[in-house]
Amino acid sequence: MGFPNERAPRDYNMGIFWALKLKLRGMIDIQLIRSDPEGVLRRLRRRDGSIDLDTILELDSKRRELVRRVEGLRRERNLGSEEVARLQREGKREEAQALISHLREVSAELKELERELDEVEEELREELLSLPNIPHDSVPDGPEKVVLREWGRKPEFDFEPKNHVELGKFLGILDFERAAKMTAARFPLYVGPGAVMEFELLLWMFELHVREHGYIPVLPPILANRRSFEVSGQLPKFADELYHCPDDDLFLNPTAESLLVNLHRDEILSEDDLPLRYVAYTPCFRREAGTWGEAQRGLIRMHQFNKVELFHYTTPERSYGDLEELVRHAEVILQRLGLHYRVTLLPADDLAQQSAKTVDIEVWLPAQGRYYEVSSCSNCEDYQARRGNIRFRPRGGGKPRFVHTLNGSGLATSRLFAAILEQNQRPDGSVVLPEVLAERVGEGVLEPG
């Protein structure tokens, strides 16, 4: 089990070539915007009514005119150089010198136009990078998400259920006060059986996806460079949400998706290797700027949390079938733990920047009387692949095509941990662990120590 190993050197070199050639196509295809601006704008405005393509279209028109002029001057310079050589061979020194003087003027003009072209291309690139993905036609308009299905029964209590923060403190397994003293608010501290439970949850989920679902295991770096986050879609638009190490210009990952999408950056895969499915564990870090209410305390909205991430590279023809499979793989975790949850389809105005379609899995928290997302499973189609120049060579031959990328949590432990405590609590504050977890933790009931 490992990375696909049919990597011909020619494909790698061509990947570098295309990474340079496609620098303006590493997001929504500029040719699509150019050919159908009204259609693209109409679909994008399902996500955000303020989106405008006028600047992009103006820059694209200016760029194409500059390219035409630059190519014309380069052609004139090259032909002129050949003519100078001919004149010199024939001893026509005065004519040659006059042409040389003219070519100097051509070169100066060319240098200025190339500088202007670089500036326009960079400005156009920034505008294109800021555009979100086009929502799939099956995605509903807002504002409400669509409930697709529920699993299991909501737990019912003949007592007032406690919040997981109260339960964690009572059982001595969560200590938010000391975590805040060490770091700041919104960071977790797992203690005793809580720390064991967190580790066992992560290891169990990781192993399940490898052994039962056939994912390739990966333990990636926690930090990644700016280019990686441009490919994933976090940069440049969401820089304020990332933890940044400025001396090295490296970012702490908010999700392993940001890392896994860069595994095959600037590569050409074989269709025979697809789909490629990876599972990774990482701690995740998010600034989560904004104000939070009582319902967001504890493990609900953290600056740091642990997550098992699922990631697919696949073909356009099968990507939506793979999305359904990805959702099922994430659901298995909650089903094995016996937790009540529901599956929802997000509306267009609630999609992440890179997503064309997202299905959320939401677990029930009794103390809050509401559902919380524990996995967002998204099909990004070729949005990230264009940014990262990730393509595949069709089995029947022909021009390489962009892959489709999919991602989803399988799962994040913070809200999962909270749901295990809240759905399985007893009147005395003890918690009965799900059987699959009790076997790994070594005790079936959590009680105050």
Q: Same domain, yes or no, for 307 and 372?
A: yes
Whether residue 1 lies inside any domain: the answer is no
For residues 40-56, give the mean pLDDT: 96
Residue 376 among the catalytic residues: yes
Amino acid 346: pLDDT: 98
Gap between the Cα atoms of 382 and 183, Å rounded = 39
Instruction: Give the confidence band of 426 by pLDDT, cuts at 50, 70, 90.
Output: very high
Residue 288 among the catalytic residues: no
Q: Same domain, yes or no, for 298 and 406?
A: yes
Q: Work out the angle at residue 334's Cα, subtended by the Cα atoms of residues 328 and 340, and round it to the nearest 5 degrees.
A: 110
Q: Same domain, yes or no, for 186 and 309?
A: yes
CATH code of the domain in which 268 resides? 3.30.930.10
Q: 348, 46 in Cβ contact below 8 A?
A: yes
Q: Same domain, yes or no, for 155 and 111?
A: no
Q: Same domain, yes or no, for 435 and 391?
A: yes
Instruction: Give the confidence band of 8 by pLDDT, cuts at 50, 70, 90.
Output: very low
Q: Same domain, yes or no, for 36 and 103?
A: yes
Q: Same domain, yes or no, for 98 and 175?
A: no
Give me the residues paired with residue 307 across strands.
282, 412
For residues 197-203, give the mean pLDDT: 97
Strands (E), 286-356: 304-314, 341-345
Catalytic residue among 46, 186, 286, 391: 286
Amino acid 4: pLDDT: 63
Residue 415 among the catalytic residues: yes
DSSP letter assigned to residue 347: -
Whether residue 140 lies inside any domain: the answer is no
DSSP letter assigned to residue 139: S
- In the chain, the number of structural domains is 2
Helices (H) and strands (E) in the chain, counts: 14, 16
Amino acid 18: pLDDT: 39
Whether residue 138 lies inside any domain: the answer is no
Cβ partners under 8 Å of residue 130, min gap 6: 236, 237
CATH code of the domain in which 29 resides? 1.10.287.40
Structural domain containing residue 19: 9-130
Owner of token pair 């999408």 = 261
Amino acid 10: pLDDT: 37
Instruction: Give the chain's mean pLDDT.
Output: 92
Q: Same domain, yes or no, for 153 and 245?
A: yes
Whether residue 252 lies inside any domain: the answer is yes
Domain finish residue from 130, 155, 182? 130
pLDDT of 66 strictly over 60: yes
Domain finish residue from 130, 156, 171? 130
Instruction: Give the confidence band of 38 by pLDDT, cuts at 50, 70, 90.
Output: very high
Whether residue 137 lies inside any domain: the answer is no
For residues 21-46, give the mean pLDDT: 83
Q: Same domain, yes or no, for 399 and 285?
A: yes
Catalytic residue among 47, 63, 301, 391: 301
Q: Same domain, yes or no, for 307 and 227?
A: yes
Amino acid 17: pLDDT: 37
pTM: 0.89
Instruction: Locate 116 and state its tokens.
Output: 């202007």
Catalytic residue among 376, 378, 409, 414: 376
Whether residue 136 lies inside any domain: the answer is no
Instruction: Locate 410 and state its tokens.
Output: 């399988």
Residue 301 among the catalytic residues: yes
Q: Same domain, yes or no, for 356 and 425?
A: yes
Domain finish residue from 130, 160, 177? 130
Catalytic residue among 95, 373, 440, 447: 373
Q: Same domain, yes or no, for 15 and 61?
A: yes
